[in-house]
Amino acid sequence: MTDMSALELLLTAVIALVLLSAIFGAILGFAAIRFKVEGNPLVDQIDALLPQTQCGQCGHPGCRPYAQAIIDEGEAINHCPPGGQATINALANLLDIPAPELDEEHGEEAEVKTVAYIREAECIGCTKCIVACPVDAILGAAKLMHTVIAVECTGCDLCVEPCPVDCIDMLPVPGELADWHWSTPRSSVELLKKPGIIATDRHGDVAA
């Protein structure tokens, strides 16, 4: 082998590498343009996962501002008590980060869904709750009795504090026959740990 051939070898290698990178670069570039994913902006996707109670427990005036803050300010995703762990998991899944526990500084996950209820006899028509409601779910006018549109109420309880006569209660949503459904069966581990439950179960199933 001469020096000449070593140089040739080097040249060939360099040229080959350059060519290869050019070709693959072109392919990648083409693919990036051709198969570009038109995704939703991340804020919209996060907002879609939030429960939309607009309760402000996260420290932001509404769900969308919180979504914005998660993106812009890197706000933690575990500040939403109404959404609870399910929302945190969904957010973590979306953002591809490990799911933290709910930050209890912002409140606890409610066990039952509630709606605001105005004791109408006591309402003095001050409109303070109407101003406070983030989803305009309270109807009424000054000096006239107010009422809550129960189906639109998100249960955020922002209206309770401003009421001067304390006539707003947060009532649990009653369970209805139409809402009833089978619950997920207990796992065998649970059943084995608490055999007593099965016994009462069976007792319950024998006709009364």
Residues that bind other proteins (CB under 8 A): 39-40, 44-45, 47-48, 50-54, 56-57, 59, 61-64, 81, 104-108, 122-124, 131-137, 151-152, 154, 158, 161-162, 164-167, 177, 179-189, 191-192, 197-198, 200-202, 204-208
* CB-CB contact of 51 with 80 (8 Å): yes
Within 118-161, residue ranges assigned H as helices are 128-132
Q: 98 or 175, CB closer to other proteins?
A: 175
Give the span between the Cα atoms of 118 and 145, in whole angstroms: 9
**CB of 107 vs other proteins, minimal distance in Å:** 4
**CB of 36 vs other proteins, minimal distance in Å:** 15
Give the span between the Cα atoms of 94 and 88, in whole angstroms: 10
**CB of 146 vs other proteins, minimal distance in Å:** 13
Give the span between the Cα atoms of 133 and 55, in whole angstroms: 9
* Helix, strand or coil, per DSSP, at residue 117: strand
Q: 11 or 192, CB closer to other proteins?
A: 192
**CB of 136 vs other proteins, minimal distance in Å:** 5
Q: 10 or 173, CB closer to other proteins?
A: 173
Non-local (6+) Cβ contacts of 103 within 8 A are: 76, 78, 79
